[in-house]
């Protein structure tokens, strides 16, 4: 049976597998073609006994109503990296929401963190 989904909120550490994750902040910024993007500042801590690789495919942002978001492409990928055991990595993950005014959640494994 699947583990139940655990919910978190901004500023709160939530453990998931080999990591603890915390959303530090969310800010809105106007992106290309007048679309608004959400920039989510995330800290991941490697709580395993070995070095772990992370990349942006580990994250997904959805609207609470099921609406999707698109990843905002960046030229300098600050997410893909090796996080040594016991260490933390902090980075921005940016998305374009499909609908405006919808409460978003960051999904990381079986964790869903409210972004509002």
6-114 adopts what CATH topology? Immunoglobulin-like (2.60.40)
- With contact defined as beta carbons under 8 Å apart, do 23 and 115 qualify? yes
Domain boundaries, the chain: 6-114
pLDDT digits (tens, 9 = 90+) for 33-66: 778 899 999 999 999 999 999 998 999 999 988 8
With 0-12 CB in 10 A as exposed, 13-18 as middle and 19+ as buried, what is 3?
A: exposed
- Alpha helix segments (H runs only) across 3-85: none
Q: For position 1, what pLDDT does the model report?
A: 54
């Amino acid at each position: 049976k699947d583990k139940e989904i655990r919910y978190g909120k901004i500023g709160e550490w939530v453990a998931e597998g080999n990591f603890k994750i915390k959303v530090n902040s969310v800010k809105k910024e106007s992106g290309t073609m007048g679309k608004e993007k959400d920039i989510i500042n995330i800290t991941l801590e490697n709580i395993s006994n070995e070095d772990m690789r992370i990349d942006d495919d580990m994250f997904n942002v959805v609207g609470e109503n099921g609406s999707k978001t698109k990843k905002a492409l960046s030229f300098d990928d600050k997410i893909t990296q090796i996080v040594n055991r016991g260490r933390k990595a902090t980075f921005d993950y940016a998305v374009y929401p499909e609908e405006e005014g919808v409460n978003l959640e960051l999904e990381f494994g079986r964790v869903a963190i409210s972004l509002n």
